[in-house]
Amino acid sequence: MKILVAEQIADAGIERMRAAGFEVDVKTDLAREDLLEAIGEYDALIVRSATKADAELIDRGRGLKVIGRAGTGVDNVDLDAATRHGILVVNAPQSNSLSAAEHAMALLLAQARNIPAANASLKAGEWKRAEYEGVEVNGKTLAILGLGRIGALVAQRALAFGMRVIAYDPYVSKPRAAQMGVDLVSLEDALRDADFVTIHMARTPETENMIGAAELATMKKGARIVNAARGGLIDEAALAEAISSGHLGGAGIDVFAEEPTTVSPLFDLEHVVVTPHLGASTHEAQDKAGVTIAEQVLLALRGELAQYAVNVDAGREIAEGVRPFLPLAEKLGRIFTAIAGEATHKVRFAVLGQIADQDTRVVALSALKGMLAAVVLEPVTFVNVPLLAADRGIEYSETKSSSARSYVNEFEIQGEGGIVVAGTVIGKNNEERITGVYDFEIEMPPGKFMCFLRYDDRPGVIGAIGTILGESAVNIADMRVGRQTKGGEALMCLSVDTPIDAGLLGKLKQGSGAKNAIFLALA
């Protein structure tokens, strides 16, 4: 078999593939037209971030069996096109974790001690010791937002510097955090108590601009913030204003909402250290990525299980009655995570009805994928989701019963504190339905943008919600209301055509008197 390496990877990775008996061509300077012409000869393609493995290229790759991305993200690979052609896509998600953690610490220390500004000043012929007085990190409180693999590595290093470490991550259990020497707190407490904040979360509709002007205002005067995860998590204009006004002491930023970029309000501020997305740019990380991706490609070409497969077909042997529940279970997992808030860490998946006689383990994995997909930095697959759940201290089990309730078949996610989400598929077209949220029975198709409001049942609430959304030009595609008793607690489920931002969600909560108001994007 032939492997094409289209971008530079570590020599060790190339040698490993050749030693395994494969023909490896390293052609890192191919023009797009030449790559399209050549790809039909190869069984495997290895890229980094510059080569676009899009639908056109994949269509030309008649013999392709696997595409390897030597790094974490797979934004430059068309996963749908690859899956349609039966091509496995693999990546190297752990290769840059250590480098990213070290870069976050480097940014933290550099701006705590004003190193870049002092360096530039001294090289310009100035000797300004007083102007560049910094702060020690020993004894200071570091808040880590996102305690996944990279966040945990940052915690280890911060503890070695004598820092007190707290963290916000509703998807990590308290026992797991305690093992790391970290106290779990709410987002509000993390921002309020921290001298330093570092972010290590995925960019999703829920986390985009999660740190805006209001959040920055709650931070201590003189506090500092680091983002070496994903651009768009911090409102850059609001951050620049908070530093310019003197409220915050500085920032270290490696990632930006739009990349590449050479213009930002942050670039003019002396107390801001910026780098051009260098978190994974170390010799060691690139070596690890090259070796890891070589191993993954070799496994795929041999037909063995590749641990870091991104688009694993959930199973071609899945029973026909079970298959329609996979996308539904993933959506229910997303909803469960959204309404659980401070996520439960003991989850039970219940399969009810005729499908209980089938092998439904993959349905539970689909639900886990939905629960974790929005909160981890790397792609979540059927292969790696049990590991990701274990990393976060999530325990899960599956129960089955052939006795159904109101439907022929139903799938239910049950968590701590009475959190329940359920759904089914109906009709010959297997149409998806949400059948329960919290302890309310409803029947509603999942929508692209959904909102859930839990409030006391009383006249006027539905009208008030419609008015608030109408005034904000948000169209209601579907609405269902469930209640258990007249005048008791009620649940309103909305499907809308456009996203609901935090400000509008607050208006909806106030207008309905809701105890809980949650928006999420399912698509």
Angle 115-123/97-112 helices, nearest 10 degrees? 60
Which residue pairs from 413-416 have beta carbons closer than 8 angstroms and sit at least 24 positions apart in sequence?
A: 413/332, 413/333, 413/336, 413/347, 413/348, 413/349, 413/350, 413/367, 414/347, 414/348, 414/349, 414/350, 415/336, 415/340, 415/343, 415/344, 415/346, 415/347, 415/348, 416/344, 416/345, 416/346
- 432 classed as catalytic: no
Which region holds residue 4: left if phi is over 0, alpha if psi is between -120 and 50, else beta?
A: beta
Q: How far apart are CA 109 and CA 163, in angstroms?
A: 12
- The pLDDT of 277-295, averaged and rounded, is 94
Contacts with 340 (C-beta within 8 Å, 6 or more apart), sequence order? 170, 415, 417, 419
Query: Residue 98: its pLDDT value, please?
Result: 95
12-21, 177-186, 298-307, 395-404: range with lowest mean pLDDT: 298-307
DSSP 252: E
Q: Are 425 and 409 in contact (CB under 8 A)?
A: yes
Average pLDDT over residues 424-443: 93
Q: What is the CATH number of domain 97-274?
A: 3.40.50.720
Mean pLDDT within 100-129: 96
The whole-model pTM stands at 0.71
Mean pLDDT of 317-327: 83
Distance from C-alpha of 523 to C-alpha of 519, rounded to nearest angstrom: 13
Annotated catalytic residue 230: yes
pLDDT digits (tens, 9 = 90+) for 239-273: 999 999 999 999 999 999 998 899 999 999 999 99
Q: Which of 78-87, 183-192, 378-387 has the highest mean pLDDT?
A: 183-192
- From 109-113, 268-272, 400-404, the region with the lowest mean pLDDT: 400-404
DSSP strands (E only) in 330-430: 346-353, 395-401, 409-414, 420-426
Kindly report the average pLDDT of the chain as a whole number. 92
259 is catalytic: yes
Q: Report the interhelical angle of 11-19 vs 283-301 (nearest 10°).
A: 20
Same fold across 315-434 and 447-523: no
The answer, yes or no, to whether residue 314 has pLDDT greater than 80, is no
What is the mean pLDDT of the segment spanning 368-389? 80
Q: Which residues of 296-327 are buried (b: 16+ CB within 10 A; e: fewer)?
A: bbbbbbeeeebbbbbbbebeeebeebbbbbbb
Tell whether the model's pLDDT for residue 418 goes beyond 90: no
Token pair in block for residue 516: 């809980």
Indicate the range of 23-32, 84-93, 450-459 predicted with least confidence: 84-93
Average pLDDT over residues 412-428: 91
| Domains of the chain by residue range | 2-94+283-301, 97-274, 315-434, 447-523
Give the model's pLDDT for residue 84: 79
pLDDT in tens, 452-488: 999 999 999 999 999 999 999 999 999 999 998 888 9
Is the domain 2-94+283-301 a CATH 3.40.50.720 member?
A: yes
Predicted confidence (pLDDT) at residue 21 exceeds the cutoff of 80: yes
Alpha-carbon distance of 38 to 131, in angstroms, equals 59
SS3 22: coil
Catalytic residue among 136, 259, 431, 471: 259
Over residues 349-373, the mean pLDDT reads 90
CB 242, CB 266: distance < 8 Å: no
Question: According to the CATH classification, is domain 447-523 in 3.30.70.260?
Answer: yes
Looking at the chain, the whole-number percentage of residues with pLDDT higher than 70 is: 98
507 confidence band (pLDDT: 50, 70, 90): very high
Q: Taking 90 as the threshold, does the pLDDT of residue 382 lie above it?
A: no
**Superfamily of segment(s) 315-434:** D-3-phosphoglycerate dehydrogenase; domain 3 (3.30.1330.90)
State residue 212's pLDDT score: 97
Residue 6 CA to residue 93 CA, distance in Å, equals: 19
pLDDT of residue 343: 60
- DSSP, collapsed to helix, strand or coil, labels residue 174 as helix
- Sorting pLDDT into bands at 50, 70 and 90, what band is 315? very low
The yes-or-no verdict on residue 210 having pLDDT over 90 is yes
Write phi, then psi, for 46 (nearest 5 degrees): -115, 130
| pLDDT for position 316 | 44
**What pLDDT, in 10s, does the model give residues 122-146?**
999 999 999 999 999 999 999 999 9
Least confident among 25-39, 203-217, 248-262, 373-387: 373-387
CA 422 to chain CA centroid, nearest Å: 23
Q: Residue 397 gets which letter from DSSP?
A: E
- Candidate list 69, 103, 149, 230, residue with the active-site label: 230
